[in-house]
Chain A
């Protein structure tokens, strides 16, 4: 499926030269649609057209709204009450969104473009906004997207939730600024998603969906991941179609007339992360993730920005969490646990631990430890699709 994009020449409407257009849309529909696309638009833009959304009303009564930041674009179609004059124009995304938010509930919004102005009418309100021509609006050229597969929206949302917190924000290692997607054949065909910031790693594994075989390794940028996750929230019961090449990826939600998110992929090589996943950690600690999380959270109250380290003293069937701060004093808490290996102490960044524990469902979490300087493997159990590796801190 290749959804027609507003940039397609076949769709260039007659009236475009004069930027005329007239359509009426339910305020709720317009607001929902704008709320989906407007966050793509960067608040500060040096290129005026990038502050705008493209509004394209066609004869069939559909109005498309599109936003872009040149790396990521979102197109959403909505049903108009009526389209009197088909046409397209661009107008400030945040202005139109703010206006739509403040218009009375249940109102119908008239959009009428003429003379480089867009008139927005609802009830007794009337706004006139400057426009820029649709032809100046940059559209990402998708090119061929030879790999196509589908995933249930719920699965895709879980994949994102379990990995995105580990995405690096460090610009120097730009290739870590996204979720790495790749297929592999470890006995059975798998699709794996991984993210790391060099201190922790999150990996989510699922059976390889049909159509994903032979797909190139791709890194989906952080912003695209965030926007996609927001869109998924409103379409959790459906499927998402994913089309990709080595340089672009497209997510189509809600089938025809839904939302299409297209993103450039990060042009880089994700490191071979499999080598940092420990396989021989023989000290197994099991405990309740909720009381563990809460304990870490409590003792970390003492930790300052400088020393976020939480020390874990592992003893027979218990863990003593402690924090010592030169400024704030000390904190300690004992958490019951199942542990029978040799006792030792290890430190972790409290926030990293909490990020991971936050993603653990169920009433048990496993920590596979080796020593205070080695990566620790964390997972719910051996069957869980998500796996985490956390590097300790020296304490």
Chain B
């Protein structure tokens, strides 16, 4: 799956102009747009009851510490006036189409990351504007005018920096990292801001005396390899503001899934099965949203010692529906029980998605079946 990354590097020469556009609190903002009563109030999109989780939170709610993927009950404790709204994926998808149409007015090189986020390569823009900053501003204006929503944009010469930049002045902001500024920008950032560095990674880096991009840059590749294994190459480049990945339009999705860390560690089988049901609900929602079909279901558990174990099952056909998806998940869980240690995280993923075969051996596509 990662083999194409090396190819990508070869295919991305020269200085580029990359924009990362990210809608602000997307789902929640759409709800606030469509219901004036919600404006200026803390809003969460997701299931309010018992086992629901927050899919998105408005900036008013974020002030209270409400975050996406947080159990709804916990969110309500943090923010007693929190207003819940059920997600309306049809509407979000519609808005997503609108903003993508805007992007495509400026460049065909649009790589959507999700409904509300995309990379644009505007090295050569369709309107001959020439300035990436200008294009980013025009796009933000048009999004506001045409959808009534705000977006933040990051402008730089690669994807890594553009994404860091879009986060810099959120919401409704723009940030430009010009050629020559990348390394300096990264040097001042806490490593936690690097895409892919989570709380655990940041903790480990802190132990090694790495707090910022500058600290990271001082470490040589051998040191990084010894401590971070295959992650080292990425870190080495990131610390220097280097990212050669091209913007890939129509990049095929490899998998769809979700995971969550439990509030408390779980080891009992029935509790794990219940948790699995909840995760499967969320993940199946995403699968339906993406209209994806896939053949492989993977269950992932992270134990209290942070060891990760995965079990996967592949079907000869696409998973037929939610019932089969959930059942496969439970079968996989049963295979893992009893657990050697309590689990702190569970994830469920659908992969071997439809259309992926096109890249793989043609044989599977072209070979007809007897049975």
Contact partners of B315 in chain A: CB under 8 A: 172
- Residues on B with C-beta less than 8 A from A198 are 316, 369-371
A362-395 Cβ-contact flags toward B at 8 Å (1 or 0) = 0000000000010100000000000001011111
Interface set of A (CB-CB < 8 Å, partner B):
170, 172-173, 196, 198-201, 271, 273, 276, 305-309, 347, 349, 373, 375, 389, 391-395
Contacts A172-B314, A172-B315; A394 near B369 (Cβ below 8 A) = no
**Is the beta-carbon distance between B370 and A394 smaller than 8 angstroms?**
no
Q: Are the C-beta atoms of A276 and B366 separated by less than 8 Å?
A: no
Within 8 Å by CB of A395, from B314, B366, B369, B371, lies: B366
Which of A201, A393, A395 neighbours the largest number of chain B CB atoms within 10 Å of its CB? A393
Given A172-B314, A172-B316, verify A394-B361 contact (CB < 8 Å): no
8 contacts between A and B (CB under 8 A): A276-B370, A308-B363, A309-B362, A349-B367, A389-B370, A393-B366, A394-B368, A395-B366
A373 B368 Cβ-Cβ under 8 A: yes
334-366 of chain B: CB within 8 A of chain A: 361-363, 365-366
Contact A276 B371 (CB under 8 A): yes
Mask of B112-136 contacts with A, CB within 8 angstroms, 1/0? 0000000000000000000000000
Task: Please give me the residue from chain B that is nearest to A200 by CB atom.
Answer: B370
Q: Provide the residues of chain A in CB contact with B366, threshold 8 Å.
A: 309, 347, 393-395
Excluding A349-B367, A393-B363, 7 further A-B contacts by CB distance (< 8 Å) are A196-B370, A198-B316, A198-B369, A198-B370, A306-B362, A391-B369, A394-B365
Bound together, the chains give a CA A199 to CA B361 distance in angstroms of 15
Chain B residues with CB under 8 A of A391? 367-370
In the bound complex, what is the Cα–Cα distance between A155 and B366 (angstroms)? 36
Instruction: Assess whether A393 is in contact with B368, with CB atoms less than 8 Å apart.
Output: yes
**A201→B362 CA distance, assembly (Å):** 21
Q: Which 6 A-B pairs have the closest CB atoms?
A: A393-B366, A394-B366, A391-B368, A276-B370, A198-B371, A391-B370
A349-B363 in contact (CB<8A): yes
Contacts known (A170-B316, A173-B316); A306 close to B371, Cβ less than 8 A: no
- For chain B, residues 282 to 327, give those with C-beta under 8 angstroms from any C-beta of chain A: 313-316
- Give the complex CA separation of A306 and B362 in angstroms: 5
Pair A307/B370 contact, Cβ less than 8 Å: no
Shortest CB distance B325–A (Å):
16
In the bound complex, how far is the Cα of B366 from the Cα of A391, in angstroms? 10
Distance of A271 Cα from B368 Cα, bound (Å): 17
Pick the contact of B370: A170, A172, A201, A395 (CB < 8 A): A201
Separation of A219 and B316 alpha carbons in the complex (Å) = 20
Q: Are B314 and A199 in contact (CB under 8 A)?
A: no
Given A170-B316, A172-B314, A172-B315, the answer on whether A196 and B362 have CB atoms closer than 8 Å is no
Using A172-B314, A172-B315, A172-B316 as known contacts, say yes or no to A271 and B371 having CB atoms under 8 A apart.
Answer: yes
A393 in contact with B367 given A172-B314, A173-B316 (CB within 8 Å): yes
User: Which residues of A sit under 8 angstroms from B316, Cβ to Cβ?
Assistant: 170, 172-173, 198
- Min C-beta distance of B192 to chain A, whole Å: 40
- Check A375 against B314 for contact (C-beta < 8 Å): no
Cα A173 to Cα B313 in complex, Å, equals 12
With a cutoff of 8 Å between Cβ atoms, the chain B residues found around residue A170 in the complex are 316
**Contact A199 B370, beta carbon cutoff 8 Å:** yes
Which A residue's beta carbon lies closest to that of B313? A172
Chain B residues, CB < 8 A from A201: 370
Q: Which A-chain residue is minimally distant from B367 (CB atoms)?
A: A393
Taking CB as reference atom, which chain A residue is nearest B317?
Answer: A172
| Chain B residue with Cβ nearest A375 | B370
B368 — nearest CB in chain A belongs to which residue?
A391
- B residues less than 8 Å from A309 (CB atoms): 362-363, 366
Specify which chain B residues have a CB less than 8 angstroms from the CB of A271 in the assembled complex. 371
Q: Which of A172, A200, A306 contacts B361 (CB 8 A)?
A: A306
CA distance A306 to B316 in the complex (A): 19
Least CB distance from B332 to A in Å reads 14
Please give the distance in Å from A150's CB to the nearest CB on chain B: 32
Nearest-Cβ distance from residue B367 to partner chain A, whole angstroms = 5
Q: How far is the CA of A347 from the CA of B366 in the complex (A)?
A: 9
Contact A199 B369 (CB under 8 A): yes
Decide: A392 near B362, CB < 8 A? Known: A170-B316, A172-B315.
no
| Bound CA span A285–B113, Å | 53
A307 touches B362 (CB 8 A): yes
Enumerate chain B residues within 8 angstroms of A395, measured Cβ to Cβ: 366
How far does the Cβ of A311 sit from chain B's closest Cβ, in whole Å? 11
Contact B368 A306 (CB under 8 A): no
Contact present for B361 and A305 (CB under 8 Å): yes
Residues of chain A with a CB closer than 8 A to B361's CB:
305-306
- Assembly CA distance A173 to B370 (angstroms): 14
| B238-276 interface bits toward A, Cβ cutoff 8 Å, 1 = contact, 0 = none | 000000000000000000000000000000000000000
Docked pose: A200 CA to B370 CA in angstroms: 7
A67 to chain B, nearest CB (A): 28
Smallest CB gap from B315: residue in A: A172
Q: Whole-angstrom distance between the alpha carbons of A276 and B361 in the complex?
A: 25
CA distance A271 to B371 in the complex (A): 8
Residues of B within 8 Å of A200, CB to CB, are 370
B314, B361, B363 pick with most chain A CB within 10 angstroms: B363
CA distance A141 to B368 in the complex (A): 41
Q: Are the C-beta atoms of A196 and B371 separated by less than 8 Å? A: yes
Decide: B367 and A199 in contact? CB cutoff 8 A: yes
Per the bound structure, the CA–CA distance linking A316 and B125 in Å amounts to 57
Q: How far is the CA of A214 from the CA of B314 in the complex (A)?
A: 36
CB distance from B128 to the nearest CB of A (A): 35
Provide the residues of chain B in CB contact with A373, threshold 8 Å: 368
User: What separation, in Å, do the CA atoms of A24 and B65 have in the docked complex?
Assistant: 80
Query: In the complex, how many angstroms separate the beta carbon of B207 from the nearest chain A beta carbon?
Result: 35
Bound Cα distance from A154 to B257, whole angstroms? 54
CA distance A394 to B313 in the complex (A): 28
> For the complex, what is the distance from the CA of A211 to the CA of B205, rounded to whole Å?
73
**Which chain A residues lie closer than 8 Å to B313 at the CB level?**
172
Residues of A within 8 A of B362 (CB): 306-307, 309
